[in-house]
């Protein structure tokens, strides 16, 4: 039973129910209505699968992930649910970081003299997205003059 508990726990707080209906398993999860839930996992040609919206309210919706009640079907619906949760949480975190970065840039532009702003260069994120040391003329967000931080996270 510990295995079932750990799987359900990994889906919290979105887990709603797990049912067997006829010869199918139905894993029900409650997610925000703005979350994507379709096409997040590569289809498995051997496993018939469906997503059905059961209840859609203003902020949350209940969706059922349905597959045959076989070992593979159970595994598929649980993996699908985990993908829905992780993909959407990552998207939310990226949006939060984007807004935070925009706020830092606004502060930087408001508090930096124009002649210094003209020398600012931003590297293409696809070239080196994890570079932590700015080259001459580049600005490292959060450490620039007037950024409102002391350079520590």
Tens-digit pLDDT string for the chain (153 aa): 788 889 899 999 999 999 999 999 999 999 999 999 988 788 888 899 999 999 888 899 999 999 999 999 999 999 999 999 999 999 999 999 999 999 999 998 899 888 888 888 777 655 655 544 554 445 454 444 444 444 444
Distance CA 134, CA 121 (A): 9
Query: Which residues have CB under 8 Å from 73's CB, separation 6+?
Result: 24, 25, 47, 67
Give me the residue spans of the domains in the chain. 2-95, 112-153
């Amino acid at each position: 039973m510990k295995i079932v508990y750990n799987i359900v726990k990994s889906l919290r707080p979105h887990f709603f129910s797990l049912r067997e209906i006829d010869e199918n398993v139905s894993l029900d999860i409650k997610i925000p209505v703005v979350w994507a839930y379709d096409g997040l996992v590569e289809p498995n040609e051997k496993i018939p699968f469906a997503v059905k919206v059961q209840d859609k309210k203003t902020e949350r919706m209940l969706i059922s992930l349905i597959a045959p009640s076989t070992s593979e079907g159970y595994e598929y619906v649980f993996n699908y649910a985990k993908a829905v949760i992780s993909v959407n949480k990552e998207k939310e975190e990226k949006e939060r970081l984007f807004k935070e970065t925009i706020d830092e840039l606004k502060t930087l532009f408001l508090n930096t003299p124009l002649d210094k702003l003209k020398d600012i260069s931003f590297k293409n994120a696809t070239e080196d997205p994890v570079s932590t040391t700015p080259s001459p003329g580049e600005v490292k967000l959060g450490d620039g003059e007037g950024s409102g931080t002391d350079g520590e996270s």
